[in-house]
Amino acid sequence: MNAAVYRIRRAAALAALGCRAVVTLAVTRASARRSPAALLAIAATLAVSLLATASAFATTGVYWGATIGTQFTGREAPWDMSAVTAFSQRDAGGKAPSLVSWGSSFYSTASCQGYCSFQQAQYQSVASYGGIPVISWESVDSDSDSAYTDAEIAAGAQDAYITAWAEAAKAWGHPFFLRFDWEMNGSWFPWGVGYNGNTAASYVAMWQHVHNIFTSVGATNVNWVWCPNIDPADGLAPLASLYPGNQYVDWTGLDGYNANTTNWNRQWDSFATLFGSTYATITGSIAPSKPMMLGEVASTESGGSKAQWIAAMLDVLPSQFPDIHAFLWYDVNTVGTGGYSDWPIESSASAQGAFTSGIASSTYESNHYASLTSPIPVPGAATTTTSTTLPKASTAASAARTEPSVGVAAVGPAITAAQKKRAKTGRHKSRKRTRRTRRTRRASWGRVVCAQVSSTRRHPAARRHGRPAKRSSDLVCRARARARSS
């Protein structure tokens, strides 16, 4: 779906929501007047609004998938695609995901014996499965986080490597999501604002420079995902200053985790509370024409019902967050804040049941994207093939292959001792709506906000979790933690 069509459908959806709001007020007034004619007119208007809503959303859906750990087969996906099969059978009632996610660094002696090249075999395994690859590519030397700065990359220090990687991506030819240098609004990654002397301007310059290299070699199958961290406390770097521009971004994104810990005054929060304010900022003013992806999302069992949290998330995504058209659950046993490592869905039978029930909705797309073309459209508008049959664990195409040397990015919740030193305190900014009164008593309707955040309590700017370096079954990209928020 091109940007123009997407904007039209989004506008139709918001108009329908606005229409329902008008009807609600009108019903209240008509009931007070007890006018049968007015109530009949309102009923007709409501029917039209519902049809408009159905039309706006009928042809769109949500891609879904996960970053899958070693708990199923001893190896991660996509090096072992039978892990995807096991994930879908245990956590999704056998429904196959449409996305498979993993990570890679620029350089790693331990994992890649140097620069980490484009590993075509992994991308092909996902595409053959009928899924869409999502690669989290980080511009770091995992041997030394201070090896690169954003300004150095923007000035061309890594052009030879980036060009070779882009050319290999073009040669493969199939579409995939490139989630490049995510969570840049925090200072816990080497490319983030405040780390290594990086600024918002140097980050944007780096992003644009790397994107321009891909454009110059004709790698149009690469779909760029700009993915900051949620910021419900409004204490991280301002997102508007970090946005590279519409011509450099295909999808926006958000990362966020629900945890319960007294260390950072974090308490159990609903999905809508955690994501609502940052979602509204991005879709309202920064990139209203772009579809959004959740690059990382998960919840702990501690502090509330994880099953209810999952059920609510899957329920509100299509209704309250209509611009989110993809999400990736972080299904990895990574130890985080408070010692939690229960991010995977299979942490409890109730969580598995809730996810299985919610993901069964036709809104959530399965693996029928083997012949997808680029740019990757909002799901439902793509030209697709029939759903690929789930491979059996014993016959999965990649099960017998040797896992290649590839850098594994540190994806997931994280914290270090330096985090406390850098943490700032933020407050939710209350949003007030003004009412206008005219003699004619007409209601003045503004922009419809699909998700609102009501919490006003203080908590740390970064809302952090602990994350040691992500480890694959056979490879270790780095064995120390980084600080980040969730």
DSSP secondary structure, 165-183, as one string: HHHHHHHH-S-EEEEES--
With a cut of 60, say whether residue 264 has pLDDT above it. no
Exposure on the CB side of residue 460, measured as CA atoms within 13 A = 21
**How far is Cα 2 from Cα 102, in angstroms, rounded to an integer?**
27
CB atoms within 10 A of CB 479: 10
In whole numbers, what is the pLDDT of the chain averaged over residues?
76
**How far is Cα 224 from Cα 211, in angstroms, rounded to an integer?**
8
**How far is Cα 269 from Cα 329, in angstroms, rounded to an integer?**
17
**How far is Cα 345 from Cα 328, in angstroms, rounded to an integer?**
12
Render pLDDT for 110-124 as a digit per residue (tens, 0 to 9).
Answer: 889 999 999 999 999
- Weakest mean pLDDT among 249-258, 283-292, 434-443: 434-443
CB atoms within 10 A of CB 326: 26
Look at residue 90 in the predicted model and tell me its pLDDT.
97
Task: Work out the percent of the chain whose per-residue pLDDT is above 70.
Answer: 64
**How far is Cα 201 from Cα 198, in angstroms, rounded to an integer?**
8
Look at residue 396 in the predicted model and tell me its pLDDT.
36
With a cut of 80, say whether residue 275 has pLDDT above it. yes
What residues does 415 pair with on adjacent strands?
Answer: none
Mean pLDDT confidence for 323-345: 88
Helix (H, G, I), strand (E, B) or coil at 293: strand
Render pLDDT for 125-181 as a digit per residue (tens, 0 to 9).
Answer: 999 999 999 999 999 998 887 779 999 999 999 999 999 999 999 999 999 999 999
Burial of residue 480 (CB within 10 Å: 0-12, 13-18, 19+) is: exposed
